[in-house]
Amino acid sequence: MKRALYPVAALLIILASAFTFAAAQDWKIGDGYSVKFSASGASGIFKTLKGDISFDEKNLAASKFNVTIDVASINTGNGLKNTHAKGGNWFEAKKYPVITFTSKEITKAGNGYSAKGTLEMHGVKKEITIPFTFARNGNGGTFSGKFDVNRTDFGIGSPGGKVDDIIKLEVTVPVHP
């Protein structure tokens, strides 16, 4: 009788494991993150980054990013430029206080990865792909990515002028469990 239960128990274990969904590792954003932007006529950093990051190199289908930048945290190194950047001609920080990126798909790409998703800035949503790498360091790791954004696609400033339309972004985000 006991021997008859072994195959049933094995079958139940196999069925249960078939319906178990593996989740990606949840990460907390650590200190020392950096969100830099540069173009002729404008450069600086955003000082406030928050969000939810789930990432597992072996389970990209369950991986996702949902991050937010506080527009008022912009720092160009010049108080007058900061005020101007937060004002009505550029980011309109009071009306549009955050920039968000929400991934829809994360895939392997060359020596790194790509996060395809929606960037929302200045009330405009655009699909973009952000290339990035992930380097493990002990229990934590660091995400790094470089990409370009056309500010006029989001209605920020006027096309042309003293500031390039294409803004280069460089993001470095240390994370821990």
For the chain, list the domains and their CATH numbers. 24-176 (2.40.128.110)
**Mapped to the 3 state alphabet, what secondary structure does 131-172 carry?**
EEEEEEECCEEEEEEEEEEEHHHHCCCCCCCCCCCEEEEEEE
DSSP 159: S
Q: What is the pTM of this model?
A: 0.85
Q: What pLDDT, in 10s, does the model give residues 53-83?
A: 999 999 999 999 999 999 999 999 999 999 9
Q: What pLDDT, in 10s, does the model give residues 108-158?
A: 999 999 999 999 999 999 999 999 999 999 999 999 999 999 999 999 998
